[in-house]
Chain A
Amino acid sequence: MAVTEENPGYKWVGTRPIRPDGLEKVTGKARFGADLVLPGMLYGKVVRSPHAHARILSIDTSAAESMEGVKAVITGDDFPDLAANGAHPSDVDVANNTIARDKVLYEGHVVAAVAAITREQAEAAAKAVEVTYEVLPHVLTVDEAMADDAPLLHEGMITKGVDPAPEEPSNIASKILHERGDLEQGFGEADAVVEREFTTKPVHQGYIEPHAAVADSNSDGRANIWCSSQGHFQMRAYTATVLGVSPGTLKVTAAEIGGGFGGKTVIYLEPLAVRPSQRAGRPVKLVMDRDEVFRATGPTSGTRIKVKMGVSKDGKITAAEVWMAYEAGAFAGSPVGAAGMTAIACYDIPNFVVEGYDVVCNKPRVAAYRAPGAPMAAFAVESVLDELARNIEMYAIDIRLANAAVEGTQAAYGPKFPRIGFVETLEAIKDHPNYTTELGPNQGRGVAAGFWFNAGMMSSATVHVNENGTATVVTGSPDIGGSRQSMALMAAEELGIPYESIKPVVADTETVGFNDVTGGSRVTLATGAAVVDACRLIVEDLRARAAKTWDVELDQVEWVDGQAQHVEGAQPPLSLNDLAAKSGRTGGPISANASLNSRGVGAGFSTQLCDVEVDPETGVTRIVRYLTAQDAGRAISPDYVEGQMQGGVVQGIGWALNEEYIHDTEGVMENPSFLDYRMPVASDLPMIDCSIVEVPNPAHPYGVRGVGEVGIVPPMAAVGNAIHDAVNVRMTELPMSPVKVLEALNAHDE
């Protein structure tokens, strides 16, 4: 671990205890989304479009309704028409993505749902729903969607962010632009200029647990929902919108979650379970299979990106021009905005234009995926930077050091950076033995860096001290990356009691204050700060109770090592245990709530060093060695920080080498299974070496920045740069599959 500021004597923060959810998970007791079974529960099945783009002419549910065991069949008409009601366009999109109304916009788009007594009956009934379609021409990529005569997904889509607004509708939902300085002048000052064009494919988050929801409606209109989600408050809001009810009528409980990576911040199933449950008066369960997960959830955008950059002989970047188009899938909202802000954020560049387009096409609506938008842009920019470094004969790390953003640098997207740790990650790579390990034949080494904002947003926490002096820490942030351990470690540090005495809990929407989704690497930062605030309120309360017990002023009482101590030692200390046991006589139960809107995020940087070996005759690339250095601010739980760093890298390696959505010419996905959607398997990977950098975030009580996302930003470029180093071909298309690498090698040989 590369520590830039010593741990100031923490007892719990920074340790590696046993995870609080470990036992239930390894013994199979943890309840995931699909595990809940309620008395009288019905099984639902969703009917999906076989077409990429079609008008729904009619849906005949009569045959399905009359089948044995069938209790409810619903279609888009069973939900309020939000567009007609004048709802916000983004809410209309959420509703129309949940269940199609007039048109289906991608293969897998929901058109109806059924609920029946058994799963088999539901499946049979789903097949019996007769949908008549008028098939429409479709567009699958940004190139097709942006073509002049492209068929339109949304007849009223006028590009936002263009002045004056275009008169004609198109598939371009919006345009973004960031500029500074004078490009022409910048390129004029350059001694080397490289211009390249890159394409990437949609890739899925690949969480192991498919989406699942159980809904149980009451006759008074209230409903309980259990689901696999990264944010049950968000699920409640979306579901209420789609159903046209008040959020307060829904109680949502987040099940234990089997991965999300951003893909479980949106709704798919919840309203489709509630509505039939209302009809049938019985609980309804909906669980996707893997095929549905691929066809209808996630993924992140496929892209086309052009980058032109110039450097002077001494390695200073003089100008950068970035053009990018991101697939949004069926509805506006690709992460091109974040892509535009992150693309060159690692560097201090005087002259640049970053232009981006959010483009709809007939594929599933994209969802957030770890540092949404940033990885594709980094693939392009970091590949070009690699080439520039070679052109001026500078080391890859050194060209990055020469341009690295530091405290005070004005980020390309606007604000000035506070204290950040990018340079420290570059140095951590240089200091690691992997940097100088000798390479074998056909092996190559690549470097790439990445930036991610990290989010803050809103969180709440409640801390209860139990009668024996242990504590329960309640938050509303589903734990997808180990946050319960981090909450417990921070609470242990604050309260001065052992980690094992603290039980961290994720509560439902009625048991704890509002929490935004678990996403944006925000939970340890923002929910963690709420936990710290609540613990500090508890400590204040405990000091007051000790003062009262001793009949002294509050300032005579300190809280040290889990006990109230008199500053002059005039009284024997009172432990948390003592105070808790006597709480009835000192003011009642000891508990505190804290809610906050985060006080300040800390940007995250990662630099990675990848060694590959390329088989020049088959184009197969194997990862030989991989090092990731990331600024965590402070690693509250180093085990989980490393887990996040490694996880991001592994997903990035999959994205780099083999993962891609493959569609046939009709727009039907051809590889909706883990057999043919090739995520890496364990034997594909070496142990990912981690170097945790700690440059504390001044805005968090323990210096936390957030670590969940930036790790996935550099890998594609790191792998591509390593392939170039190994076999001298520049890969500009993802995935860099054996087929593509061999094609590139063949072309190079000619």
Chain B
Amino acid sequence: MKYVAPSSVEEATSLLSASPSAQVFAGATDVVPQLRAGRPAPELLVDLKKIEELVSLKSDDNKWTVGAATPTAYLTEDEAFSHEFPGLSEAAGLIGSDQIQNRSSLGGNLCNASPAADSVPAMVVNGVRAVVAGPSGTRVLDVSEVVTGPGQTSLDDDEFIVEFEIDNMPARSGDAYLRMIPRTEMDIAVVGAGARVTLADDGSIEQAALALAAVAPTVIRIPDAEDALVGTTADDATLDAVAAAASEACDPIDDKRGTVAYRKQVAGVLAKRAVLIAIERAEQRNGTN
């Protein structure tokens, strides 16, 4: 196993193209434990953190740009970012511990392709886009298009994510992410739920996005719950419908971390609670940006 640390995107893609068994990494908080656990080692490990644009957090008038290898601690510590995207920031802040967050990245969290990845539902509901580099240039994918199954992505072997683009949070909008773990930290989501809402002037819900983690092979959206919310003020009956739709949309497994029945039931509970938090935040961002 060899280690390389290219300093540009082009250098990295050409290294990847040249080596049939190469793997990129950012914080390596998934990669190293996997190697230790006996996963076959690649011939070449490509460290992305020496490429400048991969480790940065920037904003302009329209959007935020987060380098794919940026430690998630940036997202929790940047006041402007966490004020605008409290849900995504909180999701990033749930990954492991302070030590882990000094290394873990959104790119790694997404491309490790665990159904339980915490930042992914929060990215999905915020419509985050991934800028993917490959030998023939870059392409832009919706985050929800990246993961295709447990441990599987739609990226080619010689592609990697350079950065994420996040359009500014519209007025009267808010996001939230909640996860259920039996402990309070250092655990893997049994269920995760991300929500984002935009309110109309009359306070009713104009747009809603809901996504669940750890209840299906990939993070899933819940269109039925989203439809149920739009046009309402999230009254009890609507929230019950949201919970029911969330439970219904789940396709979980029974494993050491939770049962099918438990995951379905709690998916509904968290979806409902995440919506309520997102609404509260949207109300607080009344008319401001």
Contact = CB atoms under 8 A, between A and B. Distances in A.
A739 B187 contact: no
Interface in B172-225: 180, 182-188, 190
A657 B181 CA distance: 12
- Majority secondary structure, A binding face: loop
Contacts of A675: 186-188
Contact of B183 (A671, A680, A742): A680
Contact of A681 (B186, B256, B262, B266): B186
Nearest to B191: A618
B83 interface: no
A737 interface: yes
B184 A670 contact: no
B186 A618 contact: no
Interface residues of B, number: 19
Interface of A: 617-620, 622, 657-658, 662, 670-671, 675-676, 678, 680-681, 683-684, 737-739, 742-743, 746
11 contacts: A617-B266, A620-B180, A622-B184, A657-B182, A675-B186, A678-B182, A680-B183, A738-B266, A742-B262, A743-B261, A743-B262
Contacts of B258: 739
B256 A676 contact: yes
Nearest to A654: B183
Contacts of A680: 183
B139 interface: no
A617 B182 contact: no
B39 to A, nearest CB: 15
Contact of A684 (B180, B183, B190): B183
Contacts of A622: 184
Contacts of B187: 675, 678
A618 B269 contact: yes
Contact of A742 (B184, B185, B256, B265): B265
Contacts of B183: 658, 678, 680-681, 683-684
Contacts of B184: 622, 681, 683-684
A747 to B, nearest CB: 12
B148 to A, nearest CB: 25
Interface of B: 180, 182-188, 190, 256-259, 261-262, 265-266, 269-270
Contacts of B182: 620, 657-658, 678, 737-738
Nearest to A616: B269
A107 to B, nearest CB: 15
Given A739-B258, A742-B265, A681 B180 contact: no
Give 4 nearest A-B pairs by CB, closest first. A683-B184, A617-B269, A739-B262, A662-B256
A658 B183 CA distance: 8
Contacts of B188: 675
Contacts of B257: 676
B259 A618 contact: no
A691 to B, nearest CB: 26
Nearest to A679: B183
Given A620-B180, A742-B262, A670 B185 contact: no
Given A739-B262, A742-B262, A670 B256 contact: yes
Nearest to B243: A617
A738 B266 CA distance: 10
A738 B262 contact: yes
Contacts of B256: 662, 670-671, 676
B259 A739 contact: yes
B32 to A, nearest CB: 14
A99 B236 CA distance: 62
Nearest to A671: B256
Contacts of A676: 256-257
